[in-house]
């Protein structure tokens, strides 16, 4: 899956937030893809047309960028380009929840990736999202894993999208098969934007592997977690979350297909 990203170098259109956008661009380059960020209604359809895939991230959505999300999403659908939705902070405001739900109605997403609280906000119409972080009460643990997988499967069946719920244990499902992934490190939650980075990396993986959206998304989730582990192993006593963020992108840059094959920790349910 990763080798195909490096071989095809897909160009990924991002309509994304201004908080983590630089890291999103660099992680795309790190995994072998190319980024273009563009959010003006006057060009998004044209930009998405020259790209291979699209990632829509609502992290700092506003009245100018929301129409662009719809226009780019619909255009990508017309062209059969893969599209990822990252519903950042869904559940934290009506604007976020309603925009995400309206996007689900009008755009067909290949993959939706969020934390458990964001996905619950979309699936259940009500959320307890703590800002842009998952509510502790929602956390996916070994005890709640079966329920969470069932929940994700149902939401996948309803939306027709691969659902990636990421957290301590990640779940990726197409409604039928479900992968549970145990890569990653708790320190990843001390960095802003690992979720945003993963979402756009998923866009790169599914664009380079168009026949296998479930497996490609799963590979990207494993890759991000594995790189979180590798980066953490590199931390010195003086390093903190800022260096950790750099080290994760560095690890994505250095990751090979063989590394991913041997380091991925997943099971099928």
**Does residue number 139 form part of the binding site for a copy of itself (CB under 8 A)?**
no
Q: Which of the stretches 93-101, 143-151, 177-185, 206-214 binds a copy of itself when contact is defined by CB under 8 A?
A: 93-101
Count of H-run helices and E-run strands, the chain:
11, 9
The residue count for binding a copy of itself (CB under 8 A) is 64
Q: What are phi and psi of 84, to 5 degrees?
A: -110, 140
Q: Which is nearer to a copy of itself, 139 or 157 (CB)?
A: 139
**Does residue number 101 form part of the binding site for a copy of itself (CB under 8 A)?**
no
**Does residue number 249 form part of the binding site for a copy of itself (CB under 8 A)?**
yes
Consecutive H or E run containing 95: helix 94-106
CA dist 204 and 208 (Å) reads: 6
**Does residue number 8 form part of the binding site for a copy of itself (CB under 8 A)?**
no
Q: What are phi and psi of 90, to 5 degrees?
A: -55, 135
Show the site string, 198-237: x = touches a copy of itself by CB under 8 A, - = not.
------------------------------------x--x
By the 8 A CB rule, do 34 and 64 touch?
no
| CA–CA distances in Å: residue 142 to residues 148, 149, 160, 171 | 10, 11, 26, 12
Binding site for a copy of itself (CB under 8 A): 11, 17-23, 25-26, 29-30, 34-43, 46-47, 50-51, 59-64, 89, 92-96, 130-133, 190-193, 234, 237-243, 245-254
């Amino acid at each position: 899956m990763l080798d195909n990203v490096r071989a095809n170098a897909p160009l990924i259109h991002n309509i994304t937030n201004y908080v983590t956008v630089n890291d999103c661009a660099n992680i795309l380059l790190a995994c072998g893809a190319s980024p273009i960020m563009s959010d003006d209604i006057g060009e998004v359809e044209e930009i998405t047309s020259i790209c291979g895939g699209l990632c829509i991230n609502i992290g700092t959505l506003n009245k100018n960028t929301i129409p662009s999300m719809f226009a780019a999403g619909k255009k990508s659908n017309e062209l059969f380009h893969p599209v990822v939705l990252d519903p950042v902070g869904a559940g934290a405001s009506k604007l976020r929840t309603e925009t995400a739900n309206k996007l689900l109605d009008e755009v067909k997403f290949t993959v939706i990736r969020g934390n458990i609280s964001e996905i619950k906000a979309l699936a259940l119409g009500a959320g307890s999202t703590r800002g842009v972080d998952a509510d502790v009460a929602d956390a996916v643990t070994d005890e709640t894993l079966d329920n969470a997988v069932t929940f994700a499967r149902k939401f996948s069946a309803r939306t027709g999208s691969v659902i990636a719920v990421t957290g301590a244990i990640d779940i990726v499902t197409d409604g039928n098969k479900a992968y549970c992934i145990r890569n990653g490190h708790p320190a990843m939650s001390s960095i802003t934007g690992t979720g945003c980075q993963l979402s756009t990396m998923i866009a790169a993986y599914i664009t380079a592997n168009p026949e296998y959206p479930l497996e490609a998304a799963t590979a990207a989730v494993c890759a991000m977690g594995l790189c979180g582990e590798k980066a953490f192993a590199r931390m010195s006593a003086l390093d903190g979350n800022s260096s950790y963020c750099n080290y994760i992108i560095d690890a994505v840059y250095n990751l090979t297909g063989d590394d991913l094959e041997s380091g991925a920790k997943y099971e099928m349910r």
